[in-house]
Amino acid sequence: MLYLSHPQKLLIQTLVLLYTNMFDAQIDAPYFALMALSFRTIEIIVIETGWPSEGSPKKTTATPDNAYNTNLIRHVINDIDTPAKPGKKLDGHIFSLFNENRKPGLGSKRNWGLFYPDQTSVYNLDMTEKGVVTMTTEANVSSSNGTWCIALSTASKMDL
């Protein structure tokens, strides 16, 4: 319910602010708590957010209809601020770049990646606002239909 592309919108109304998604509300909540403690200059950075592409049959997984990551990217690159912090740039990092097929636990624990280990897309994702980009193993360089993240040439296998 954080970002849905279909009819329902989640509205959380406070005395002053109107929220249309849970992501903004979750960002503003610690800001309010910090302000109540007189900490007004601490920055919040989202270091891990995303949506799994597989998991329990009763859990919603990432699909074109549940475009959490695409909507999050659009939210950040368009500098859409939160209701409590107008004009404040938001930084965020999607978890995770690759699925982790050897990670123990439930299937949802192994399937947070945007890409399979062979560098193909787990699902279509719009990282450019120019349309959905499907990456293949041949597309691991900048191209006319989007961009691809690649590790620094100095990164060791341990770093990766």
Tell me what pLDDT residue 144 has. Answer: 46
Q: Exposure string (b/e) for 50-77, b if CB count within 10 Å is 16 or more?
A: bbbbebeeeeebbeeebbbbbbbbbbbe
Percent above pLDDT 70 for the chain? 71
Q: To which residue do tokens 């360089």 refer? A: 141
Q: Which residue has the higher pLDDT, 128 or 55?
A: 55
Domain membership of residue 58 (yes or no) is yes
Domain membership of residue 132 (yes or no) is yes
Question: Mean of the pLDDT values across residues 46-74?
Answer: 79
pLDDT in tens, 98-132: 988 888 888 888 888 888 888 888 887 776 666 55
Question: Mean of the pLDDT values across residues 135-148?
Answer: 47
Domain membership of residue 85 (yes or no) is yes
Tell me what pLDDT residue 38 has. Answer: 92
Q: Which residue has the higher pLDDT, 65 or 20?
A: 20
Domain membership of residue 57 (yes or no) is yes
Give the tokens for residue 125.
Answer: 């994702």
Rounded Cα gap, residues 18 and 73, in angstroms: 21
88: Cα separation from own chain's centroid: 18
Domain membership of residue 17 (yes or no) is no
Backbone angles phi, psi at 137, to 5 degrees: -65, -25
Q: Please, which pLDDT band fits residue 34 given cuts at 50, 70 and 90?
A: very high
DSSP letter at 67? -
Domain membership of residue 105 (yes or no) is yes
**Predicted confidence (pLDDT) at residue 12 exceeds the cutoff of 70:** no
Decide if 116 contacts 134 (C-beta within 8 A). Answer: no
- The tally of domains found in the chain comes to 1
**Predicted confidence (pLDDT) at residue 37 exceeds the cutoff of 90:** yes
